[in-house]
Amino acid sequence: MSSHIVGSHALTKHMESNILKTSQEAKNARLQNPMVIDATVGQLNSENGTLFRYLAVDRQLKELNDQEMYVYAPVNGSKNFSEGVIDWVFGKHKESILKSFMVNVIPTTGGSGALSNTIYNFNDFGQKVLIPNYFWTPYENIAEEANLGVETFRMYDDEYRFNVDDFERKAKELSARQGRLFFLMNDPCNNPTGLCLTTDQWRQLIAVLNEIAARDIPVILLHDIAYIDFQMKPEDQSRDIFTAYLDLDPRILAVIAFSGSKTFSMYGFRIGAQIGLSKSKQVMEDFKRVGDYSVRARFSSVSRPAMSVIGKIFATPELNVGFKAELAEARSILEKRIALFQSCADLEGLKYLPYGGGFFIGVETKNCRIFEDLVADGVYVIAMPGLIRIALSSVNLNDIPRLVKAIKKNV
Ligand SMILES: Cc1ncc(COP(=O)(O)O)c(C=O)c1O
């Protein structure tokens, strides 16, 4: 028993890297001095520096009736939302996925709610979740909050391709040690690197998961697709990776963490979903049983206005087409910034990680004081061990040449 005001399990809680806090510091610095470049925030801004809003979302929000706006959202989601999210996520591969798998949707408070519910329910306390060595830092906090830790593998090989060999080595070692494998991967458009795996690399990953499952070890794949709509290719092609899922061993549970924040610019509304898939009826019954319980026990239900708006966009063909055209415009904003960053970096001789899509580009560094050095030059980024994450989603074109020069000087 402890006499401390904080419970003993919470005594060591301390946020080492708080992206939202650093972002706030950057915002304040920019208010004092407009020359400051804020490349911290994972939010898509227009060239005028304000949030990129979708007209389709805006209009629907303003037209919601009281029922669509104020009442509790159904725990299993409205028909429009829960069926629509399956259409949206799997696109042209929906039929083949539904033929091979049982699929269940649980609405959550953002992608974060989907991640934390899954991590909490499908591990034993004290175990480790396998992630790449460059990762969105809240993964570690979400794991620790669930009495878990993380173990990493090297994300890249020497040629800067996804390191399937190191994944395989670590996955086998960890699963043998703890009798479970829980693998969490953010793809496509990885945060913090911009990496996008090929369908063939997904096939190789899944072959390793299958080999482990065949040893009667529980295997869970948690696939975080927060930025799937910002891959530098049309939406239907960014869904091709799901064809690799068809090979999944029947004992495996796959959970896709969907986020409404990035795709719909509804960051503050807190809407997302856990999409569970398995070929096993028993596994899916377990998924639904513990998922529904945790929703009720942790946050009860999700944002009704966001569910109503997204559900309408999913279910109304004209809205869907109009929204997709706006999404293409959002991607083209990013595309121009990335192209300019890359050409400036090539000119300056600054190396960056291979970029396939998303809000961020990554630059490796050996400078342990890179954050402070860049701040001294009026630039805010998110620094992590060995890497800086540059959120081009929130930097306008004019600032990019200066941003590249400052990074090159300090990296
Ligand atoms: C990699 C990644 N996953 C998940 C999320 C969760 O986003 P939200 O909880 O807002 O849906 C984010 C948000 O920044 C993210 O960057």
Residue nearest to atom 16 of ligand 1 (CA): 191
Q: Is 40 in the pocket of ligand 1 (CB under 6 A)?
A: no
Q: Which residues of the chain have pLDDT under 70?
A: 1, 17
| CATH class for the region spanning 8-54+320-410 | alpha beta
The pLDDT of residue 204: 98
Tally Cβ neighbours within 10 Å of residue 385.
9
The pLDDT of residue 188: 97
Indicate the residue type of 349: G
The pLDDT of residue 283: 97
Indicate the residue type of 338: I
Rounded distance between C-alpha atoms, residue 246 and residue 96, angstroms: 8
Tally Cβ neighbours within 10 Å of residue 245.
22
Q: Is 191 in the pocket of ligand 1 (CB under 6 A)?
A: yes
Phi and psi (nearest 5°) for 46? -75, 175
Q: What is the third-level CATH fold of 72-316? A: Aspartate Aminotransferase; domain 2 (3.40.640)
Q: Is 224 in the pocket of ligand 1 (CB under 6 A)?
A: yes
Using one digit for the tens of pLDDT, what is the confidence trace for 257-303? 999 999 999 999 999 999 999 999 999 999 999 999 999 999 999 99
Q: Is 84 in the pocket of ligand 1 (CB under 6 A)?
A: no
**194 Cβ partners below 8 Å, 6+ apart?**
353, 354, 355, 356, 357, 358, 360, 361, 362
The pLDDT of residue 21: 82
Rounded distance between C-alpha atoms, residue 379 and residue 26, angstroms: 8
Q: Is 23 in the pocket of ligand 1 (CB under 6 A)?
A: no
The pLDDT of residue 3: 85
Rounded distance between C-alpha atoms, residue 28 and residue 118, angstroms: 35
3-state SS assignment for residue 137 = coil
Tally Cβ neighbours within 10 Å of residue 269.
22
**Longest pairwise C-alpha distance within the chain:** 61
Q: What are the structural domain ranges in the chain?
A: 8-54+320-410, 72-316
Q: Which atom of ligand 1 is nearest to the CA of 111?
A: 11
2 CA to middle of ligand 1, Å? Answer: 35
Burial classification of residue 257, based on how many CB atoms lie within 10 Å of its CB (0-12 exposed, 13-18 middle, 19 or more buried): buried
Q: Is 259 in the pocket of ligand 1 (CB under 6 A)?
A: yes
Q: Is 263 in the pocket of ligand 1 (CB under 6 A)?
A: no
Tokens of 117: 């519910």
191 CA to middle of ligand 1, Å? Answer: 9
Domains 8-54+320-410 and 72-316 share a fold: no
The pLDDT of residue 1: 67
Phi and psi (nearest 5°) for 64? -65, 140
The pLDDT of residue 41: 87
The pLDDT of residue 236: 81
pTM greater than the 0.85 cutoff: yes
Ligand 1, pocket-test mutation among 89, 259, 389, most atoms within 8 A of CB: 259
369 CA to middle of ligand 1, Å? Answer: 26
Ligand 1, pocket-test mutation among 44, 190, 261, most atoms within 8 A of CB: 261
Q: Which atom of ligand 1 is nearest to the CA of 136?
A: 1
- Tell me if 163 sits within 8 A of 156, measured CB to CB: yes
Q: Is 168 in the pocket of ligand 1 (CB under 6 A)?
A: no
Rounded distance between C-alpha atoms, residue 387 and residue 363, angstroms: 6
3-state SS assignment for residue 41 = coil
- Tell me if 155 sits within 8 A of 162, measured CB to CB: yes
Q: Is 136 in the pocket of ligand 1 (CB under 6 A)?
A: yes
Q: Which atom of ligand 1 is nearest to the CA of 190?
A: 1
Q: Which atom of ligand 1 is nearest to the CA of 114?
A: 9
Residue nearest to atom 2 of ligand 1 (CA): 226
C-alpha distance from residue 388 to each of 123, 176, 364, 374 (Å)? 31, 33, 6, 10
